[in-house]
Structure 1
Amino acid sequence: MASSKFSSLSPPIFSGDNYPVWAIKMKAYLRAFDLWEAVESGRDPPPLRANPTIAQIKQDSEDTAKKYKVLSAIHTAISDTIFTRIMACETAKEAWDKLKEKF
């Protein structure tokens, strides 16, 4: 259900102007979908232990998906011109930090 909500709301688009306003709006957008922590921490989820339970496997899958969802959200929230500056970034934190540094 959360994924359908995620796709129904559009993130704020950053075209290179007024980064501080976009950053505040984007943080709120990501927090609304419980994705901001993936940007803030920049860490991968801990590896599964031996003989994980089904609940642990499911949680690991959800945590892993979050890091790709948040990077995708950032990609979607920037213009193509800005995207070329972060397209080599492999994590949301790396992309966010690069945007913050440049703007």
Structure 2
Amino acid sequence: MFNGANFISWRDRMKIFSQSIDIDLWYVINEGPFEVTIIDDHTTRRREKTRDELTPQDKANLTLNAKVMNVLYNALDGNESTRVKGCISAKEIWDKWKEIHEGSDDVREQKKSLLVAKY
């Protein structure tokens, strides 16, 4: 269970664990959930499908996001799960953890630059 310590090791283990359940879980974490949308015939705009419009594949794709969110939430202790409360996708959870524990892309680049300059 992740308690905020040693994020890099935990991150790597979660990648392997999610892939061992279903390789598509890792894609959902990295790329975001599958969209279940359709072009509205009347407005020609994209909208979410209604429950009646969902295909079996749409339902399977929605289940992947729920499954991987369950995996991620159950791998956290109470304090860590509170930090990502309200996230609506596995990718959002993952990106938020990375920012909390590794810093933003800008912060990581600044750290790299400082290390390069130092050595």
**TM-score bucket of the superposed structures, by smaller chain:** 0.7 to 0.9
Spell out structure 1 runs of 4+ moving beyond 3 A. Answer: none
**Which amino acid is the alignment partner of residue 47 of structure 1?**
T
State the secondary structure of the residue aligned to 1:60. helix
Report if aligned partners of 1:48, 1:57 keep a CA contact under 8 Å in 2: no
Which residue pairs with 1:24 in the alignment? 12
Aligned runs of 1:59-78 on 2, under 5 Å? 59-78=57-76
Structure 2 stretches of 5 or more lacking a match? 40-53, 102-119
* Higher share of residues assigned strand: 2
CA distance in 2, matches of 1:94, 1:80: 18
Larger RCO, structure (CA 8 Å, separation 6 or more) = 1
**Which amino acid is the alignment partner of residue 74 of structure 2?**
T
> How far 1:33 sits from its partner (Å)?
1.6
Q: What's the TM-score, normalizing by structure 1?
A: 0.75
Structure 1 stretches of 5 or more lacking a match? 1-12, 50-55
Identity %, equivalent residues:
31
Cα RMSD between the aligned structures?
1.9
Which residue pairs with 1:38 in the alignment? 28
Report if aligned partners of 1:30, 1:36 keep a CA contact under 8 Å in 2: yes
CA distance in 2, matches of 1:43, 1:63: 8
> How far 1:47 sits from its partner (Å)?
2.9
The number of aligned residues is: 86
Q: What's the TM-score, normalizing by structure 2?
A: 0.66
Report if aligned partners of 1:48, 1:60 keep a CA contact under 8 Å in 2: no
**Which amino acid is the alignment partner of residue 58 of structure 2?**
D
Aligned runs of 1:1-103 on 2, under 5 Å? 13-34=1-22, 35-47=25-37, 57-103=55-101
> How far 1:44 sits from its partner (Å)?
2.8
> How far 1:32 sits from its partner (Å)?
1.0
Report if aligned partners of 2:33, 2:90 keep a CA contact under 8 Å in 1: no
